A and B are shown apart, each in its own frame.
Chain A
Amino acid sequence: MKKVKNVFICLLSVFLLSMGLIPAKVHADVLIEIDDSFWRAHQKDCDYLYRSYTVNGDQGYAILWESPVSSRQEEVLVNGTSISTNWHYTDGKGETWCAVSTGEYSQGYEKISGWIKTSDCLVNPDYISFREAHEEEFVEYDPAYDNALAGLETVVLWTYPCSGKVKTDRMDAEGLRDRRVFDICWKDSKGRMWAFVGYCYGVRNTWICLDDPANPELEADESVIPRDAVVYPAAEDLPDAKSGVTGLAIAAVLSVVAVTLVLLWFFFVRKRRKE
């Protein structure tokens, strides 16, 4: 009976050990999954949203953490550093974090360099910023623009109106001739009508200027998205990233080990010698 029990325990141990060695199954969908244990454990609480940021810590730098719940610092980023992310997480205290992308992939998973608080960053203006600033000015599509793309082979798509940032200057106009793709429009200060394009031939969340759809030289207007946030200067000297382990913790652990060794000697060596 004891032999059977021992065999059972061994088999159970091997089974549990093998479970930890089996790699997670990759889900085949359009979401970019990341190679990170915190993300895997909190995937349902993370929002899939691409945004780019500029580091803007109030001390001239910001910390890149191992995870939103870790005290280990992966890196210290100086203000002005550009980062991008596909995943955001909001913790129990309401702090929003983003997984900083490295741009590299391993076995189909995107590699990240760590997690950073979005409060330590400035979001780079994008279509979301534009919507937040001008949502109340959006109007419905005007059928007068039904022939705006007539005769054009390609059109220009922008990150947002008057951004000066071209997303693509070679979008096939055929994909946009159906007026139903334009459900949100906005008129700029120069009277030009812009339309939001949610998706077209793989390109997402862009705007097209209906009054000048093929012109890639439309000038930028920085006043379109006001920048009220304080921009902190970059620090000249950056601190080293901390492992999260203090000298006090090391001393405490060494003390515990020493005391335990003494107890082991007292109860299991000295006592046995007396017996």
Chain B
Amino acid sequence: MTLIDFLLPLALTIAFEGAVVLVWGLRRWDLLLFVLVNVLTNPAAVLLHALFPGWAFTAALELGVVAVEGLCYDRLGYAVRRPWLFSLCANAVSFCLGFVVDILI
């Protein structure tokens, strides 16, 4: 795996989830939290997916990501409304749009 194999998914994830961030109204430090949380989870998720491909593990992995990010938003966020719901929605959007991009590429 090369650097681009990690950077591209991370960039796309931040872009896709960024749309949810804008709608959800995150501001200031919560924006930094959003970026750091994705840097924390996305490369690790990409690595684990490469090591253990398969729909069952991918589903479990995505749920794990939602849980980790939800925990971060809940415990560390300054003004993240409904942090667990935000994590679920943001990851659902990025997962589905990523699926579409994968088909189109």
Enumerate 28 A-B pairs (CB-CB under 8 Å) in ascending A order. Answer: A6-B82, A10-B85, A10-B89, A13-B88, A14-B92, A16-B96, A17-B95, A17-B96, A20-B95, A41-B105, A66-B53, A72-B50, A243-B50, A243-B51, A245-B1, A245-B51, A249-B1, A250-B47, A256-B39, A256-B43, A257-B44, A264-B36, A264-B37, A264-B40, A264-B76, A267-B33, A268-B29, A268-B33
Main secondary structure on chain A at its contact with chain B? Answer: helix
Contacts of A9 in B (CB 8 A): 20, 23-24, 89
| Binary A-proximity of B62-105 (CB < 8 A = 1, otherwise 0) | 00000000001000100000100100110011011101101111
Residues 24-62 (chain B) with a chain A CB within 8 angstroms: 24, 29, 32-33, 36-37, 39-40, 43-44, 47, 50-51, 53
Main secondary structure on chain B at its contact with chain A? Answer: helix
Partner-B contacts on A (CB < 8 A)? 5-6, 9-10, 12-14, 16-17, 19-20, 37, 40-41, 66, 71-72, 243-246, 249-250, 252-253, 256-257, 260-261, 263-264, 267-269
Q: Is the CB of A5 within 8 A of B103?
A: no
Q: Is the CB of A37 within 8 A of B102?
A: yes
Tell me, in angstroms, the Cα distance from A272 to B6 when the chains sit together: 31
Q: Is the CB of B39 within 8 A of A245?
A: no
B-side interface residues, number (CB < 8 Å): 36
Q: Is the CB of B51 within 8 A of A41?
A: no
